[in-house]
Structure 1
Amino acid sequence: MTHRTLGTPGLVVPAQGLGCMGMTFGYGDADAAEARATIDRALELGVNLLDTADMYGPHTNEELIGQAVAGRRDQVVLASKVGNEIGPDGQLTWRINGRPDYIRASVEGSLRRLGTDHLDLYYLHRVDPDVPVEESFGALAELVDKGLVRHLGISEAGPATIRRAHAVHPLTAVQTEYSLFTRDVEVNGVLETCRELGIGFVAYSPLGRGFLTGTIRGTSDIPTGLDFRRIAPRFKDENIAANLPVVDQLSELAAAADTTVVRLALAWVLSRGQDIVAIPGTKRRTYLEENVSAADLELSADVLAAIDKIAPYGVTAGNRYPDAEMDALTR
């Protein structure tokens, strides 16, 4: 696995990390044994950037990772997030909370569950519209000063907010959804701002939440159990039908290039710049190994041009989140 450096602060990570959310949250039934085996295999393959958040579960994702990396903390780069409020009962309130006191209290729980004395990267998961981002990052900067956190990031923030946060403490990474189905950051100023300020970019859901794998042809293909995609507009039957021709054309292009649509889609994200790291999520070793095989796939200029023709910005039908959650993006 090749490595890339996130941001001017210089956090060295693999070009491809592992998004762990689906191991316990949001993507159907959990299988703890297979999830642990997937983490083990990821580390064997050099995929040692593990991405989680306190809201995933809540809490169960951090606990799983903490157990999986026990005794080998020095081998992993741990990234977690704060800001989606968890109530005293341990359940999500579905509110965003960027208050300094909430951030200070939350990091202690994350450290305990992950079994570590520091986080390598800590993101503000969403921007609280009722709290100036300077106040949130003032608290996050305190955590760096105390040695509890090494690097700071922000997720799903707009260019102006990124600048304001970066002015309080240098950001190492901005994390936002980015794939052939979600190219917003190319046109809304987020990527441009990151590059101007020397901030790395971490692309989550680089396979379009599984859509770009070619395995979802209708809602019946979404796994049973609590799966976020059942409420996501992009995964309504009419939008699936509208988006399938794009996936099919990409699959044909991949076959002509003697690869798979999964490898093609991941290699495309990584080709967008050496300052970009992808964190495809999976909870199974089989999918992990196919994902990792894309890390050294170089796409020709002709293939890249064909991809842009098939999947330009705005080609996808349906929003990636329900309306209420869309309102929380790019603040």
Structure 2
Amino acid sequence: MTDTSLPLRKLGHSNLKISALGLGCWQFSKGKGLVGGFWPEMKQEDIDAIVKLSLEGGINWFDTAEAYGKGESETALAEALNNLEVEEEKALIATKWWPLLRGAGSITITIDKRIKALQGKTIDLYQIHQPFSFSGVKAEMDAMNELLENNKIKNVGVSNFNEAKMREADQVLKSAGYSLASNQVKYSLLDRRIETNGVLDAAKELGITIIAYSPLEQGILSGKFHKNPEMIKNISGPRKYSNLFKKSGLEKTRPLIDLLEKFAEKHGVSQTQIALNWLIHFHGDTVVAIPGASKLHHAQENIGTLQFSLSKEDMDEIDLVSRAVSKF
């Protein structure tokens, strides 16, 4: 089913080979829970269709989390893969443990719930969702080491960790013969803080993959809100209150949007595909991204990103304009 002709990348120092784009599955939360309620409920048949199209287009991994609908996203993903009869090695799964108001002991106590939610499927990458818990990094990585030793998971990642915590996590894992595979952080052409806070440099030094979430800044980089600001009134959820969606935000980012449109016309693709393509190529193989897809055309946009390459000159020009309008 998967287009294996597309080049794959190593996830950190692991044996996993992943596509430069994964599919973010937050939107599969079925509208459940505080976090999952960010998205409207999707029908399982629509989820199946999006997963199928993503696989056919060369995407071979899916990022979900315990917090996404209290396991509903994990279950919906697993159900889609079962319905499509996909072999496990062709659909790698990354999920996350939710740390808030918990200690490291919860990592080992709750792992069987995660496996059950995923209907017994292999957890290829298990991540700490964010750094705030009742335990420190060492205790959490010791718990992850235990899961690795017991073959409950295949690889360990973190999310939203700063440079110091990321280095500590990698060091603890290496003391047990493993290594940190990834750090999932917010990164886009409009939010480039990891380039100046040490996270990206440390990832390159240690061979840790950066997984970029919110790579399109909730759709701002598509340019559709710049062309038709009235669309902002129809946005549901908290994103409509972001400064990016305000008139001043649209004006500030317009030079970048105009440039993305120019390159989209040059390459015969969309602006979102230009933005994603820059993200997954500008730093070599270090950065991969997980755009979501709540509609089939979103999935089509994602897979189209993998089918062309920007020149170094194109990327450098985008880099220059992005620097003038993004967060550092």
Same fold judged by TM-score > 0.5? yes
> CA distance change for structure 1 residues 258 and 228 in 2, over 3 Å: closer, same or farther?
same
| Residue 72 (structure 1) aligned with residue 76 (structure 2) | no
Root mean square deviation of aligned Cα: 2.2
**CA 181–149 in structure 1, closer or farther in 2 if over 3 Å, else same:** same
Alignment partner of 1:14 is 2:19: yes
Deviation sequence 1:138-190 (CA, Å, 0-9, x none): 11111111111000000111111011111111101111121111111111111
Say whether residues 1:301 and 2:312 are aligned partners.
Answer: yes
Residue 197 of structure 1 corresponds to 206
Quick one: structure 1 residues 222 and 151, their matched pair in 2 at CA, closer, same or farther if it must change by over 3 Å? farther
Aligned to 2:298: 287
Displacement of 1:257 in angstroms is 4.2
Give the alignment partner of residue 185 of structure 2, picking from 162, 172, 176: 176
Q: Is residue 2:83 matched to residue 1:55?
A: no
Q: Aligned partners of 1:192 and 1:251: how far apart in 2?
A: 30
Cα separation, 1, equivalents of 2:120 and 2:26: 19
Question: In the alignment, which residue of structure 1 is the partner of 2:176?
Answer: none
8 Å CA contact retained: 1:219, 1:236: no
Name the residue aligned to 1:116.
Answer: 120
Q: Give, in angstroms, the shift of residue 250 of structure 1.
A: 2.2
Find the aligned partners of 1:18 and 1:123 in 2 and give their Cα distance: 16
Higher mean alpha-carbon deviation, 213-222 vs 272-281, is at 213-222
For residue 251 of structure 1, the aligned residue among 248, 254, 261 is 261
| 1:172-229 alpha-carbon deviations (Å, 9 max, x no partner) | 111112111111111111111111112112112221221111122447436554x241
Conservation of the 8 A alpha-carbon contact between 1:215 and 1:221 = no
Match of 1:277 among 284, 288, 310: 288
1:20 Cα shift? 1.0
Select the residue among 1, 4, 10 that pairs with 1:5. Answer: 10
Change (3 A) 1:203 1:247: same
- TM-score, structure 1 as length reference: 0.85
Q: Output the amino acid matched with 1:182.
A: D
- Once the 2 structures are TM-superposed, how far is the Cα of residue 258 of structure 1 from its aligned partner? 3.5
Partners of 1:98 and 1:136 within 8 A in 2 = no
Which has the higher mean CA deviation after the structures are superposed, 178-187 or 256-265?
256-265
Identify which of structures 1 and 2 has the higher relative contact order when contacts are C-alpha pairs closer than 8 Å and 6+ apart. Answer: 1
Counterpart Cα distance in 1 of 2:25 and 2:42: 12
Query: Is this contact kept in 1: 2:256–2:318, CA < 8 A?
Result: no
Q: Considering fraction of residues, name the structure with more helix.
A: 2
SS of structure 2 residue aligned to 1:277: strand
2:95 aligned counterpart, secondary structure:
strand
Q: Secondary structure at the match of 1:66?
A: helix
What TM-score do the two structures reach when normalised by structure 2?
A: 0.85
CA contact (8 A) 2:189 2:275 kept: yes
Q: 1:77-99: per-residue Cα shift (whole Å, max 9, x none)?
A: 00001125xxxxxxxxxxx2451
- Structure with greater proportional strand content: 1
Checking the alignment, whether the CA contact within 8 Å between 2:137 and 2:169 is kept in structure 1 is: yes
Runs (5+) with no aligned partner, structure 1: 85-95, 320-331
Question: Residues 23 and 292 of structure 2 are in contact (CA less than 8 Å); yes or no, is this contact kept in structure 1?
Answer: yes
Letter in 1 for 2:321: I
Q: Which residue of structure 2 lines up, in the alignment, with residue 165 of structure 1?
A: 169
- Once the 2 structures are TM-superposed, how far is the Cα of residue 236 of structure 1 from its aligned partner? 4.1
1:138 maps to 142
Q: 1:98 to 1:174 in 2, by over 3 A?
A: farther
1:115 alignment partner, SS class: coil
Provide the secondary structure at the position in 2 that maps to 1:72.
coil
Q: What amino acid maps onto 1:30 in structure 2? A: E
Cα distance, 1:290 vs structure 2: 1.8
What's the % identity of the aligned pairs?
28
Q: CA deviation at 1:56?
A: 0.8
What secondary structure does 2:224 align onto?
coil
Structure 1 position 242 matched with structure 2 position 252 = yes
